[in-house]
Amino acid sequence: MIDLRDDTIEMELTDEEALAFSLEALDECRARLAREGVDFSAYNSAENAADVNDLRLALGYDEWNLFGISYGTRLAQTIMRDYPEGLRGVILDSAYPLEVNLFTDTPANVDRALNTLFAGCAADEACAAAYPDLETVFWDTAALLEAEAAPIQVFDLQNGEMYDTFFDGDGLIGIVFQGLYSNEIIPVLPQLIYEASAGEFALVETLLSAFMLNSEYISLGMQFAVQCNEEAVFTEPGSPAAAAAAYPELENFFAGLTNLSEVTLDVCQDWGVDEAPAIENEAISSSVPTLVMAGEYDPITPPAWGEQVAANLDNSVFFLYPGVGHGASISGECPTEMAIAFLNDPTSAPDDSCVADMAAPAFTIAGETAAVTLVPYSNDDFGIAGVVPEGWTEQAPGVFARGQSGTDQTAIIFQALSADLGADFLLGLLEQQLQMPAAPELAQELTFGDLTWQLYESTGILGLSVDIAVTTTDDLVITVVMLSEAADRDALYEMVYLPMI
């Protein structure tokens, strides 16, 4: 599927052509795995649960804790049903009940999450003022892009290649759907929607470039083996299409998905997996201490699913975390601390007082740059000293990232090299590292104290503004680099860049 993506990414395909390419690639994947002797029927939750229990026994543990997120919660429930004797406690984060149907329930779940986003923005005074009537703007923009796709660029972080591609209405639905998984991305979604409505796609390009990495870590072969065995077999033909049709604005989006739609049933016909027994479609009951966690904005495993699972467990507690997407336990200090507390003592419900202090998403407003306080910084190992923005995270020696949201690429970089290498070498190195389309241009010279700085300006990956200050001493070539979004650049130039020089 990665080869298919790379081969077709620059093509402007119809929905039918894109689906045909995907189905062909899936068939080739299935055929290759079959030639390699893979037994598709050996990959399912029951077999997986048996392996987990065998692992516990092999390691010599009398009992242990289970921690599952998303599909991991379905596996954990299967273990609770089949091998309860080895369990001390279980965390089900973003629960996927055995008895629900992912193919028929997902359209409603996506619609719920989108409405949560629209309502969340409307309830936030700043978001509502900056992005009024977000729901209408979203659907109108999706319709316009579906009628005429917009040319955009995406950057493959794996191979360093930039691709020209197209962004349509289903793409907008898809990127917001994916964004709702992450509490780091949720705050920028209203801004992304409004910018897309104005034909500005910098945030879209940034997110799509990041999402390209996801395909490197997903096994579609296992996904289809499992889902064909224990989900498709319990799905009536025609029901996924009918479920999507109940949400007309989402219908075309789901029609193009190979793993969450009517198409999936057709694909499963060719995979030849055994049919799961009826028990794999039935709710479990258990007395194992269980913490069930859910995120308010989760687009794929809604809070109602968590409540549904918890209702069938005799010894469970359920918590809903506001402003959070998929994977609540790793989406903030409060849920993480509660998960740790539960693992330390599964017999007691964790203190949930911190949940009341969790805020709604801090939606970003384009053009609003938060004030910055500069604090002293030094690194004796690298010979770096100066000031840096307070609260920015040092990702590496001399590299500070703002990290305001999941799409925020704003950063400050200190570098110092031997004067023997020269300023031109350093500028050329930065040009390569930052994927500049051309050499940076000298904008001005400024003298501060004994040092004269050459200030260069350029653009980098996906249109990031790049400011480079270079000065030379007897021993060193020193540079300060600022990467910023165009909307923030002027404010950060005055608040951060010049004071640091």
Q: Which residues of 371-380 are buried (b: 16+ CB within 10 A; e: fewer)?
A: ebeeeebeee
Helix/strand/coil percentages in the chain, nearest 5:
50, 20, 30
Print burial letters for 228-257: b (CB count within 10 Å at least 16), e (below 16): bbbbbbbbeeeebbebbeeeeebebbbbeb
In the three-class reduction of DSSP (H, G, I as helix; E, B as strand; rest coil), residue 4 is classed as: helix
Q: Are 468 and 440 in contact (CB under 8 A)?
A: yes
CB-based contact 385:397 (threshold 8 Å): no
Residues 479, 415: contact at Cβ < 8 Å?
yes
Tokens 């080739």 correspond to what residue?
A: 28
DSSP for 246-302 reads TSHHHHHHHHT-SSSSHHHHHHHHHH-PPPPPGGGGS---B-S-EEEEEETT-SSS-
Q: How far apart are CA 132 and CA 83, in angstroms?
A: 52
Residue type at 384? I
> How confident is the chain (501 residues) per 10-residue block, as mean pLDDT?
56 77 88 93 96 97 97 98 97 98 98 99 98 99 97 83 91 97 96 97 91 80 92 96 98 93 92 93 98 98 98 97 97 97 97 95 86 86 78 89 83 86 86 82 91 91 86 89 88 91 86
Would you state the pLDDT for residue 501?
Answer: 86
Note the pTM of the prediction, 2 decimals.
Answer: 0.85
pLDDT for the residue numbered 155: 84
Tell me what pLDDT residue 425 has.
Answer: 87
Confirm if 305 and 93 have CB atoms less than 8 A apart.
no
Sequence-distant (≥ 6) Cβ neighbours of residue 101 within 8 angstroms: 231, 234, 235, 239
Separation CA 282–CA 45 (nearest Å)? 13
Token pair, residue 55, equals 């692992």
Beta-carbon contacts of 185 under 8 Å, excluding residues fewer than 6 positions away, are 179, 207, 325, 405, 406, 407
Cβ 91 vs Cβ 290: under 8 Å: yes
CA angle 368, 374, 377 (to 5 degrees): 140
What is the pLDDT at residue 382?
64
In whole angstroms, what is the distance from residue 464 CA to residue 479 CA?
18
* Domains in the chain with CATH codes: 374-500 (3.40.1000.10)
What is the structure's pLDDT at 462?
Answer: 72
Q: What are phi and psi of 256, to 5 degrees?
A: -90, 0
Distances from the Cα of 192 to the Cαs of 143, 175, 378, in angstroms?
16, 10, 37
- If we measure between CA atoms, which residue out of 51, 70, 76 comes closest to residue 109? 70
pLDDT at 9: 64
What distance, in Å, lies between the first and last C-alpha atoms of the chain?
47
Q: Are 317 and 292 in contact (CB under 8 A)?
A: yes
